[in-house]
Amino acid sequence: MVFTETMTSKERVLNALAGKPVDRPPVSNPTNVAALDLMDFVDAPFPEANRDPELNARLAATGFTELGFDSIAPYFTIIQESSALGCEMQWEQKDNWPTVRMYRPIWKGIDDIKIPPGFLNHKDNRAITDSIRILKQEFKNEAAIIGKTMGPWTLAYHVFGVEQFLLMSIDDPNLTIRCLHELKEISVLFGQAQIDAGVDALTFPDHATGDLVSGAYYEKFLLEIHQEMVERLKVPLILHICGNTLDRMDYIAQNNMAMFHFDSRNDPQKSMDVVDGRIGLVGNINNPVTLYSKEPEDVRAEVYRCMDAGVNMIAPECAIPLATKIENLLEIPKSVRDWMEEHKDDEIVKRYTEPRPFASL
Ligand SMILES: [Zn+2]
């Protein structure tokens, strides 16, 4: 008998997010898989594909139609809301990520935090919500559509500047917490707009990364806010934090979100042991080295390492480098199927085909 698929991509992703049984783990990208070759293939290049809903939807769809991933992620950057808030933008060219000019922050303190009228109708927010409507229409129940709304920590970097905000967190933790509570309303507003447009899940990037802040920061500043987001945004949420996060994964596992999108700097088995079924894990194929510069066989080895550890959804660790080789991306779903075929008679496969232990069903 050979391994056969019995679910649609959308069912597979939604089941995995809910801790329910799947035929195989989904290949699902909480962050985007836009690559230069795909931009050429559908004639939807950066930066335009970030600002025009038609181009955005066309490029996003290739993750499902060309790469064979189980989800579609139309929000490619991390700066759409910040542009709508009035941050100064550098939109770059086809081969580079757009960024916020962080050396010229727009706000200095808590009194400056104001959501501009027409925020949701700003071109750069509409590019995402209108793209979601197009994708929903086109793919209906075939693929899971995963939106993305920036958490307050990431927004704070953009509007206050990274250094200024980190200094504030040291000088005046209470003021910092009050700022985060004000900024979280932006996360809710844009997240809800995407839910209304039809997303099946939301990625929630909130870059309290190991390079910049300690694990204790996560508990002190973000855990409660993240729990509140689960109450207010009624689709499965996927937290995304890059870098080393093992020291905060125990706290992250208590945030009630569906999954945590984790970085390749964290060992899959160690990470699974720390979260212990309290939250799902999605990741963590290395981008800058493996997907960008190595061969399909190296990609395969990392997929197998994740599945041997029971990682719940398989994905690149973060938004892929734009020049990533397509053959390396195609190797991810291929390897997932081959692992299932090789292990179909083993006990180990039940970690996928039976409900997730400890998961709230
Ligand atoms: Zn990241």
Q: Are 46 and 333 in contact (CB under 8 A)?
A: no
Strand partners for 260: 239, 281
Local confidence band at 108 (pLDDT 50, 70, 90 cut-offs): very high
CA distance 280 to 259: 4
Q: What is the mean pLDDT of the chain?
A: 95
Q: Which of 162, 164, 157 is nearest to 183 (CA)?
A: 157
Q: Which of 187, 184, 284, 298 is nearest to 242 (CA)?
A: 284
Asked if the model's pLDDT at residue 292 lies above 80, the reply is: yes
The pair of structure tokens assigned to 5 is 């698929």
Which residue, among 259, 280, 153, 149, has the nearest Cα to 206 in the 3D structure?
153
**CB-based neighbours (< 5 A) of ligand 1, an ion:** 242, 318
Stretch 69-84: mean pLDDT, rounded?
A: 96
C-alpha 49/C-alpha 61 separation (Å) is 12
- Report the alpha-carbon distance of residue 191 to residue 151 in Å, rounded: 10
**pLDDT above 50 (res 73):** yes
Centroid of ligand 1 to alpha carbon of 341 (angstroms): 31
| CA 105 to centroid of ligand 1, rounded, Å | 22
Tokens of 232: 């207010």
Residue 177 alpha carbon to ligand 1 centre in Å: 23
C-alpha of residue 237 to centroid of ligand 1, in Å: 15
Predicted pLDDT at 360: 52
- What confidence tier does 361 reach under pLDDT thresholds 50, 70, 90? very low
Residue 7 · residue 15 · CB < 8 Å? yes
**DSSP notation for 300-361:** HHHHHHHHHHT-SEEEESSSPPTT--HHHHHHHHHHHHHHHHHHTTSGGGHHHHSPPTT---
Find the distance separating the first CA and the last CA of the chain, reported in whole Å: 30
Ligand 1: centre distance to CA 73 (Å): 14
**What is the CA(242)–ligand 1 centre distance, in A?**
4
Ligand 1: centre distance to CA 273 (Å): 22
Distance of CA 360 to the CA centre of its chain: 22
| C-alpha of residue 263 to centroid of ligand 1, in Å | 8
Provide the pLDDT confidence category of residue 357 given band limits of 50, 70 and 90.
Answer: confident
Is the entire prediction scored with pTM above 0.85? yes
| Residue 233 Cα to ligand 1 middle (Å) | 21
What are the residues facing 238 on neighbouring strands?
203, 259
In the predicted model, is pLDDT for residue 131 greater than 60?
Answer: yes
- Say how many Å lie between the CA of residue 205 and the centre of ligand 1: 8
* pLDDT tens-digit readout, 296-331: 999 999 999 999 999 999 999 999 999 999 999 999
Q: H-type helices in 198-279, by residue range?
A: 215-217, 223-232, 249-252, 268-275
Distance from the alpha carbon of residue 30 to the mean position of ligand 1, in angstroms: 10
Q: What is d(CA 311, CA 279) in angstroms, rounded to the nearest whole number?
A: 11
What separation in Å is there between the alpha carbon of 9 and the centre of ligand 1?
24
Q: Give the integer Cα–Cα distance in Å for 298 and 296.
A: 5
For residue 271, count other CB atoms closer than 10 A to its CB: 23
Q: Strand pairing of 89-90 and 99-100?
A: antiparallel
Residue 33 to residue 67: CA distance in whole angstroms: 9
Is the distance from CB of 80 to CB of 50 less than 8 angstroms?
Answer: yes
Q: Each residue of 160-183: pLDDT tens digit?
A: 999 999 999 999 999 999 999 999
Question: Could you read off the pLDDT of 15-48 as tens digits, one per residue?
Answer: 999 999 999 999 999 998 999 999 999 999 999 9
